[in-house]
Amino acid sequence: MSMSIEISFSKTAKISGGLVVAVGSLASPVADAARSADPSGQLDKAVKVADFTGKSFSTADVIAPVDSPADRIALVGAGDPAKLSAHDWMRLGGKIFTLIHKARKVTVLLGEGGTPSAEAAADMALGLLMRSYKFDIYKTTKNEDDDNGSQKVSVVFQHADAADCKKLFAIRQAVADGVTLARNLVNEPANVLGPVEFAARAKELEALGVDVEILTEKDMKKLKMEALLGVSLGSARPPRMAIMSWMGGKTKDKPVAFVGKGVVFDTGGISIKPAASMEDMKGDMGGAAAVTGLMHTLAARKAKVNAIGIIGLVENMPDGAAQRPGDIVRSMSGQTIEIINTDAEGRLVLCDALTYCQERFKPAIMINLATLTGAVIVALGHHHAGLFSNNDDLSQALSKAGEVTEERVWRLPLGKSYDKMIDSKFADMKNTGGRHAGSITAAQFLARFVKDTPWAHLDIAGTAMGSPATDVNQSWASGFGVRLLDELVRANYEG
């Protein structure tokens, strides 16, 4: 965030100072394009010394030849460019970011003859932007060597089809902005981002043409959302629900709906969590952040789809007024829930949001995202989100979108025997199913609130935050879900 990057595309490259990055390949480690920065042909020697072969994702930082119009030249390898996926090009863009250091002007020289494609060039720009993200607004002293401070850096991609690149990049800029929004929301501490403040951020999407309605506690009481409201009882800060709608599709088309868990902080409530790593629970609104980021992206790229985003915003705190284990609440659906553990609060927020979503919008599909269970991290680590669904086609479409975007999902089972595990002695169901299969029983709980709508639940506890740094993300918050669902919409639901 501290470095502000300005991306542009140009048919020709006028190099005068700054950094030149040449994208080479195994066939031609020093792309011919790079010759323009190396009139006396010294790059080949430098490349030999640096052992740069053009292998994909390899880089070499070489000092510019004396007669070069550039201050510095760096090389990035694309290996066999024909074999690279869109996400590979994004990763290469991320690599380019690491070569910038203190440069203010960067010229990226791509290969020759229309390769890489305009798409690939735009993907590189997207990857570069995503990699550049940094959440440091609360650092009052910045490390000089760290980056460019708050400097503007202009990055010009030289490409024969610059006009095409520009068009394709405009769509990706919308994606980058949605991802950035989601990351910001997750990284923001809970003292700054309570339910009311989060709702206000959602409201800002109106500037893009999204219609945003905010439900207050009073509204939710009227709607009998007792499950959601129960979670909020221990908090001094009132809950909110935001309903975002982007109607970019045909009027008659049923909307696709996205529902997010937005627990701005999860102490566990009366079933309080241990102190170790509790600070991470500021990210327990990762589902709501992904939905908000996605709605931003869809609106900013004017997606031809009708999409609804619903986020349930609460804080889970222990207090004299807090909900207790043993309490029984009546959800908006009418089904009653015995609270066994107040730390299983996400499903209580989601069940009322899911009911509201189906009753009001009758969506074509409904997907919810939630940092729902620690158990999903035990099962899948940080590399796949858990996927649960009542619909094979939707599952397959999500898995495919996961492969394309490398925001991967892995389907886990649902079934009668798991469903039984949440039967309650005193109410229709209980909010936990015991020690075993914790992610599945959480999903079974949600499934009891889904009628005939094709539905999927993504448990993103392991992927929304704290996942290992990658070529396109160095931040604690990943923004997981925005690109996945944007791709799902693009591939399946746009007119």
Contacts to Zn ion by CB under 5 A: 263, 266, 284, 346
Sites for ligand BES among residues 138-197 (CB under 6 A)? none
Q: What are phi and psi of 288, to 5 degrees?
A: -65, -35
Q: Is 315 in the site for Mn ion (CB under 5 A)?
A: no
8 A C-beta contact, residue 53 and residue 26: yes
Please name the residues in contact with 327: beta carbons below 8 A apart, sequence gap of 6 or more.
230, 338, 339
> Shortest approach of ligand BES to residue 316 CB, angstroms?
7
- Looking at 341, 470, 474, 492, which residue binds ligand BES (CB under 6 A)? 341
> What residues pair up with 9 in beta bridges, in sequence order?
157
| Identity of the residue, 177 or 315, whose beta carbon is nearer to Zn ion in the bound complex | 315
* Of positions 111, 269, 438, 481, contacts ligand BES by CB under 6 A: 438
Name the residue nearer to Mn ion (CB basis): 345 or 352: 345
Task: For residue 297, give the nearest of 309, 280, 281 by alpha carbon.
Answer: 309
Nearest to Mn ion of 148, 271 (CB atom): 271
* Residue number of the CB atom closest to ligand BES: 374
| Residue 104 annotated among the catalytic residues of the structure | no
Site string for Mn ion, 339-378 (x = CB under 5 A): ----x-x---------------------------------
Q: Is 416 a catalytic residue?
A: no
Structure tokens at 219: 């509204």
Instruction: In angstroms, give the least distance from the CB of 197 to ligand BES.
Output: 19
Q: Which is nearer to ligand BES, 79 or 386 (CB)?
A: 386
Q: How far is the CB of 377 from ligand BES (least distance, A)?
A: 6
Closest distance to Mn ion from the beta carbon of 342 (Å): 8
- Return the number of the residue (343 or 419) whose C-beta is nearest Mn ion: 343
Given a contact cutoff of 8 angstroms between Cβ atoms, the answer to whether 307 and 362 are in contact is no
Select 273 or 411, whichever has its Cβ closest to Mn ion.
273
Measured from the CB of residue 413, what is the shortest distance to ligand BES in angstroms? 18
- Region near ligand BES per CB under 6 A, out of 53-61, 201-209, 245-253, 336-344: 336-344
Q: How far is the CB of 284 from Zn ion (least distance, A)?
A: 4
Among Mn ion, Zn ion, ligand BES, none, the one that 123 touches (CB under a kind-dependent 5 to 8 A) is none
Beta strands in 12-71 (DSSP E): 19-24, 59-63
E strands, 31-119, are 59-63, 72-77, 105-109
DSSP 107-166: EEE--STT-S-HHHHHHHHHHHHHHH----TT-SS--TTTS-TT-EEEEEEE-TTHHHHH
Residues 254-313 that bind ligand BES (CB under 6 A): 266, 284
- Cβ-Cβ contacts under 8 Å for 396 (sequence gap 6 or more): none
- Euclidean distance between CA atoms 269 and 334, whole angstroms: 24
Distance, in Å, from the CA atom of 23 to the CA atom of 14, rounded to the nearest integer, reads 17
How far is it, in rounded angstroms, from Cα 447 to Cα 467?
27
Q: Look at residue 461 and give the partner it binds from Mn ion, ligand BES, Zn ion, none, a contact being a CB closer than 5 to 8 Å depending on partner kind.
A: ligand BES
8 A C-beta contact, residue 334 and residue 214:
no
Residues in the interface with ligand BES (CB under 6 A) total: 14
Give the integer Cα–Cα distance in Å for 130 and 124.
10
Active-site residue, selected from the candidate residues 347, 408, 430, 483 = 347
Please report whether residue 266 would count as binding Mn ion according to CB under 5 A. Answer: yes
Residues 349-378 that bind ligand BES (CB under 6 A): 371, 373-375
Rounded distance between C-alpha atoms, residue 440 and residue 433, angstroms = 9
* Token representation of residue 29: 């480690």
Q: Find the catalytic residue in 273, 302, 362, 448.
A: 273
- Nearest-approach distance from CB 176 to ligand BES, in angstroms: 25
The SS3 call for residue 93 is helix
The residue (of 226 and 345) whose beta carbon lies closer to Mn ion is 345
Q: Are 288 and 236 in contact (CB under 8 A)?
A: no
Binding pattern for the stretch 12-41 against ligand BES, x by CB under 6 A and - elsewhere: ------------------------------
Q: Round to whole Å and give the CA distance between 458 and 73.
A: 43
Give the residues lining the site for Mn ion (CB under 5 A).
266, 343, 345
Task: Give the active site residues.
Answer: 273, 347
Binding residues for ligand BES, rule: CB under 6 A, are: 266, 284, 341, 343-346, 371, 373-375, 432, 438, 461
